[in-house]
Copies of this chain bind each other. A is one copy, B any other.
Amino acid sequence: MGKTAAIIGGGVIGGGWAARFLLMGWDVRVFDPDPDAQRKIGEVLENARRSLPGLSDVDLPQEGTLSFHDVMSEAVDGVAWIQESVPERLELKRKVYQTLQEHCPVDAIIGSSTSGFKPSELQGCATRPEQIVVTHPFNPVYLLPLIELVPTDQNPPEMVAKASDILTSIGMYPLHVRAEIDAHIADRFLEAVWREALWLIKDGIATTEEIDNAIRYGFGLRWAQMGLFETYRIAGGEAGMRHFIEQFGPCLSWPWTKLMDVPELTEDLIDKIAGQSDDQSGHMSIRELERARDNNLVTILRGLKAQDFGAGALLNAQDVRLGQPAAMPADVSMPLETVRRAIPLDWTDYNGHMNEARYLQAFGDATDRMMDIVGCDADYIANGGSYFTAETHIRHLDEVHAGARIHIDTQILLGVGKKMHLFHRMYADDRLLATGEHMLIHVDLATRRASDPKPQIAVKLSQIADAHAKLPVPEGAGKAVGVK
């Protein structure tokens, strides 16, 4: 598209803007007097290249060209967007705008990353105030979509619409703040929470870690998906939002608000909130909202579980408490149970039935457990050996839905040398849902090449394989796709 953005002031915020524009196909010119600017932006960009493109399920544009410039005039010549992220000093920002406006196109948009200043303050001494608008991002800028777009009456509506379109085109969500106030919207909340947190630490009530845990194991999980009011609408239940506010209202005069100036909860204000909430969420019943909330929470919790972080780490610890299976069962004459679990909500698709890839995830877990049984456990893997799946054959025989309990039995078809050939059967009660046949190859994790397993594994593997060789060959084993 040949679009160019100028980043005035690098650092974490400017770097995040640079990464957004670049990865969405814009050329980016950076002006920052900091001699470390190139390194710092390079580091942000490295993080962004690792994380941003995979958010899309389609191909991104070709990455744009990044250049660094010693003078502002060169950086802003002919650009469509200028993002100012210099330190939060009003005089400095105003001086920067003076220079920018001497050299930049009159139709370029000058967005400021300021979290504290109102746009009218920024426009104060400017040659062309109509060109300057607040576009306040959130760190990491390359991942979080929110931008507070705060104009004044000086900005023509077409300019605001154009700014909004450009921000949307680089994957952001411009929240048009209709009336300028100190700290816009989001930072008023952050500031309020920060104040409370300072008191709690100062008074010795809680540590930084306890405060973080009080957030991320509780309401933080709610706010990642619904925010404040939609969450409370659900809490109000069938009685509705009005009921909830009326119930919650008295708290405002409880002791812990004694230092605070709070608006009176008049009928008018209650009407306003309840009406806005109806406009926002009234298209869904409370039951539908509950289901959406729970789907989101399970998805987030299970995602964090895969990362072993935050509330997800708690879930992993709980799994360990619920019971570590024995290393190797005494009786290996029959197929071994390798998975027993419920189907999570995030494993099902719009049909409500389990997505095909999740069958392989469950079979993968069964394989992991079988590796564990033969001694290829976390210690062994940390010491450089493991099994990789070379080939998989899945037959889908019946559907299964979220919440259903499944179990998987595993038969070893072959366990010789580098090879471990497995056959999994997945059941819900005694209903056969699917079979998974897998050829695994033992690898040296340093060379990434096939290698023989250590003797202790070979022994256990052949012990089970020999016992299972006496079982009938499972129906469906050794078959190609489409062959009965």
Q: Which of B47, B56, B290, B403 contacts A53 (CB 8 A)?
A: B403
The stretch of A68-76, A101-109, A193-201 in contact with B is A193-201
Partner of A294, one of B143, B209, B252: B143
A58 within 8 A of B: yes
Complex formed: what's the CA distance from A213 to B345 in Å? 25
- Given contacts A260-B260, A298-B51, are A192 and B190 in contact (CB under 8 A)? no
| Stretch from A1-9, A154-162, A173-181 at the B interface | A173-181
Instruction: Report chain B residues within 8 Å CB of A190.
Output: 219
Q: Mark A381-401, 1 if CB is under 8 A from B, else 0.
A: 000000011111111100100
What's the least CB distance linking A199 to chain B, in Å? 6
Residue among A276, A357, A390 having the largest count of chain B Cβ atoms under 10 Å: A357
Q: Which of B144, B171, B218, B365 contacts A186 (CB 8 A)?
A: B218
A469–B298 Cα distance when bound, in Å, is 45
For A209, give the chain B residue with the smallest CB separation. Answer: B280
Does A255 reach chain B (CB closer than 8 Å)?
A: yes
Instruction: Check A214 against B226 for contact (C-beta < 8 Å).
Output: no
Question: How far is it, in angstroms, between the C-alpha of A228 and the C-alpha of B212 when the chains are bound?
Answer: 6
Task: Contact check, A227 vs B213: say whether CB atoms are below 8 A apart.
Answer: yes
Chain A: interface secondary structure?
helix
The residue of chain B having its C-beta at the shortest distance from the C-beta of A220 within the complex is B223
| Distance between Cα atoms of A421 and B351 in the complex (Å) | 22
Q: Which of A326-334, A336-344, A460-468 contacts B (4 or more CB under 8 A)?
A: A336-344
Contacts of A405 in B (CB 8 A): 53, 59
Known: A319-B58, A357-B361. A216 touches B205 (CB 8 A): no
- Chain B residues lying within 8 Å of A92, measured Cβ to Cβ, are none
Cα of A60 to Cα of B221 in the assembled complex, Å: 23
Is B185's CB under 8 angstroms from A200's CB?
Answer: yes
Q: Measured between C-beta atoms, what is the minimum distance from A84 to chain B in Å?
A: 18
Query: Is A55 part of the contact surface with B, judged by Cβ < 8 Å?
Result: yes
Chain B contacts for A260, CB-based, 8 A: 195, 259-260
Determine if B319 and A56 form an interchain contact, defined as CB atoms under 8 angstroms apart: yes
Which residues of B lie under 8 Å from residue A302 when comparing CB positions?
54-55, 303
Q: By the criterion CB–CB under 8 Å, are A480 and B480 in contact?
A: yes
- Residue A251 is within 8 A (CB to CB) of chain B in the complex: yes
A273 at the interface (CB under 8 A from B): yes
Is B304 in contact with A480, judged by CB distance below 8 angstroms?
no
Of A123-131, A307-315, A425-433, A450-458, the stretch lying at the interface with chain B is A307-315
Q: Which residues of B contact A277 (CB under 8 A)?
A: 208
Pick the contact of A342: B60, B173, B357, B389 (CB < 8 A). B60
In contact, A391 and B399 (Cβ under 8 angstroms): no
Q: What CA separation (Å) do A279 and B51 show in the bound complex? A: 28
Q: Does A402 contact B (CB under 8 A)?
A: yes
Pick the residue among B198, B311, B445 that contacts A263 (CB under 8 A).
B198
Q: List 24 A-B contacts (CB under 8 A).
A: A47-B290, A139-B234, A144-B218, A171-B314, A178-B204, A179-B204, A181-B205, A183-B256, A189-B197, A192-B196, A193-B228, A212-B226, A212-B230, A220-B223, A224-B310, A224-B311, A296-B307, A303-B346, A356-B389, A360-B392, A391-B482, A392-B393, A437-B481, A478-B481
A209-B279, A221-B224, A259-B260 are known; give 6 further A-B pairs, CB within 8 A. A51-B298, A59-B323, A178-B205, A207-B276, A209-B276, A220-B220
